Amino acid sequence: MSAPEVHHLFHNPIADHSFSADRQTLAIARDTTVELYGRVGNSFKLKDELKGHDKTVTSIDIAPNSGRIVTCSQDRNALVWEPTPQGYKPTLVLLRINRAATFVRWSPNETKFAVGSGDRLIAICYFEEENDWWVSKHLKKPIRSTITTVAWHPNSVLLAAGSTDAHARVLSSFIKGVDARPEPTAWGERLPFNTICGEYLNNSAGWIHSVAFSPSGDALAFAAHDSSITVVYPSAPEQPPRAVVTINTQLLPFMSLIWNGEAEIIAAGYDCEAFRFKGGLNGWQLSGTIEAKSRPGLGDAREESALNMFKQMDLKGKVKDDTQLKTVHQNTVTMLRPYETSGDAVAKFSSSGVDGRLVIWNV
């Protein structure tokens, strides 16, 4: 496997990142600004800064077809940045929330986006032509706590959400006049707004950090703070699921997960590296890590002179400096994103973390 492409952008945490469809533009959420990087050869160079929020930007997403960027922040606002010849023009979104916005994602058809919040609700936002602004409808019941993550079903109507009340839920975000009536799925047939199509509790009542539908939309995976990943296979509307498979691990909790086809999940988090899980309806298991640990230069200690050795002992009480992790990321991985796909399979994915690194991996 070829070596990953590592970009150490700065020494601040990266809350979220997103690539444009041509992978030439990278948007990074850094503190209160959004930094836009352009691909120059093998590196990324800062080319623009979007300043519209006055508190920490928590999440960001670029719509692949229109190129619009949506951002949300702890200032309780979301902004849609329209690309124009003069640069990006911000439009305020009427979220109507009084707590921080925590997570945002465009729907696959790009007519709506979902904003999770600390206000115990999800704002489903869509464009109103007559007033020329973005308005929202609220998914409220039965959410009892902060929304930490959302993910769209391929049909752009169903939405999965994870929250700090230890539940992963599948809800309908159907908006009359915006959405075409979706095809029936295993999650539901008639789907008026705020229909609950599934509600799943984590066994240890741990926070849900990440949710994702499989490429077909016929399975849902979620990662929780008890270091588990749960995969749900629905059977039919208002029926118990065909299977709920929970993989308990001895690792630290996962912060983000993505599907690679229907039979593999890639997850990363507090262990600072990405892990593979393989399986199906009959069971899932941890099958290994993405990165090879024996990378040259990391394991081999330099020949130490006697003087240097005693100096290290005197200064630090030890000979070897063991503060460097053997993984590429030197701190928690906060977000995984598909980077290059072929059909349902992921050929490359990107990861960003608290260490300010962005890494592009070969699967």
Count of CB atoms situated within 10 Å of the CB of 201: 13
Q: What is the pLDDT of residues 219-259, one digit of tens each?
A: 999 999 999 999 999 999 889 999 999 999 999 999 999 99
Say if residues 244 and 200 touch (Cβ distance below 8 Å).
yes
- Residue 298 confidence (pLDDT): 40
| CA separation for the pair 248, 334 (Å, rounded) | 20
Cβ burial of 345 (10 Å; 0-12, 13-18, 19+) is middle
| DSSP helix/strand/coil, 255 | strand
> CB-based contacts of 7: which residues, under 8 Å, 6+ apart?
43, 44, 357, 358, 359, 360
User: 167 and 200 in contact (C-beta within 8 Å)?
Assistant: yes
- Cα dihedral 218, 253, 244, 192, rounded to 10, equals -50
Band (301; pLDDT cuts 50, 70, 90): very low
Q: Which residues pair with 335 in a beta bridge?
A: 352
Is a pLDDT exceeding 50 seen at residue 292?
A: yes
pLDDT averaged over every residue in the chain: 93
101/199 Cα distance (integer angstroms): 22
Residue for token digits 């077809």?
65
Give 26-69 pLDDT, tens digit per residue.
999 999 999 999 999 999 999 999 999 999 999 999 999 999 99
Q: What is the mean pLDDT of residues 167-179?
A: 96
pLDDT per position as a tens digit, 92-135: 999 999 999 999 999 999 999 999 999 999 999 999 988 889 99
Mark out the alpha helices in the chain (DSSP H runs): 306-316
**Dist CA 234 CA 239 (whole Å):** 8
